[in-house]
Amino acid sequence: HVGGKTSAAGAHRASAGFPVSIPTIDLAEVGAGGGSIAWIDSGGLMRVGPQSAKALPGPACYGRGGTLPTVTDASLVLGHIDPEYFLGGRIRLDAAAAFRAIETNIAAPLGLTVQAAAHAILTIANENMVNAIRSITINEGLDPRASLLIAGGGAGGMTIGRIAEALECERILVPRTAGALSASGGLFSDIVSEFSVSQRTDTGSFDYAGINQALEGLGAQMEAFFNRLNTPPEQRRSEFFVEARYPYQVWELEVPLAVSQFSNAADVQSLVDGFHRAHERVFAVNEPGQQVECIYWKARATALLPKPLRGVTERKAKTPQSLVTRDAWFDGAAPQPTPRYHGPDLPIGAVLAGPCVIQEPTTTIVLFPHWHATVTETGDYMMERDFDAA
């Protein structure tokens, strides 16, 4: 999920460099949202964030007294935002104020054009988010290239393309309500609770009785959780995991269990094989034949909630027509004529080729060169990279 902040969930990780062996949520936050301020440090290097213009006074283009350049100001100067259609036209942006803020604070001190300075602001902000995503994917043994990148936040749709290119992701999903993605997630996400118990054993002398008793206790806690929520049987999902390590390692790895009770050596061997695979994925090496030390046992109870996907079937099939074509800057020194589309008017299945801008009431989606977007049946946007053209 990419927007003003980047986050991921995890457990038993380091906090401020210190090991924390309790279930935690691992959040990687980056000050790179639309209100993040661009500034020049004492060494003459430009930085973006973590200082924010906040809602008040906000970016300079808001016209509420702000004079410092922000990511939103940079997007406006580059022609990515239509000053007449911010928040569905309810707010008119001051393009001249954005230009002055960037020129005075960034462009003039660095000897750049205002457009080059604005492009640098977005590049640095994007790189901050890219580094955060790498830390919670590549550093954890996950390949972002195999993932679907989802843009969230009001500014997410404007920067997601460049972030995807840096991560070598091929597909992006931009919800039409990206500006309210977190609120939507709070309404529709499944209800999840995790339970854990410490019960040490190793696979060389596996404690069947002790581990089975621990797993049985976790199962009872999950059952009580479901009963409190009155969750129907068909909406209950129960999963078991072990956090294990090779002897003398500091960090444990989470390994899914194929069984909820251990009956024989084959069940234990399945655990060992799963750990070897997890170790290979994260550290690119494993130790076949090595015993595995099991430290924590965990159960995850998920109460599945309905996912009502509201379609946009009322949209009539027609050829997409742009509202207007205006100049916008992308990578080069010269602007490109860029068509702008009104998102709510686009029919299901419409395919748009970049560069173009899609304007939704709560978000703006910038389709960079060498990308195309398809309107899904729910009115969202599936963006895919055109590698042949890149």
> 48-59 burial, b for 16+ CB within 10 Å, e for fewer?
bbeebbeeeebb
Give the pLDDT confidence of 313-358 residue by residue, as tens digits.
666 656 677 788 999 999 877 899 999 999 988 988 899 998 999 9
Q: What is the pLDDT of residue 7?
A: 36
CA-based end-to-end distance of the chain: 25
Largest pairwise CA distance in the chain? 73
3-state secondary structure of 74: helix
Give the pLDDT confidence of 234-276 residue by residue, as tens digits.
999 999 999 999 998 988 999 999 999 999 999 999 999 999 9
Q: What is the pLDDT of residue 69?
A: 96
Predicted model pTM:
0.74
Q: What is the pLDDT of residue 28?
A: 63
Cβ(354)–Cβ(370) below 8 Å:
yes
d(CA 209, CA 376): 52
Q: What is the pLDDT of residue 16?
A: 53
CB within 8 Å of 349: residues ≥ 6 apart: 317, 374, 375
Please give the average per-residue pLDDT across 300-317, as a whole number.
Answer: 76
> Which phi and psi angles does 131 have, rounded to 5°?
-65, -40
pLDDT at 13 over 70: no
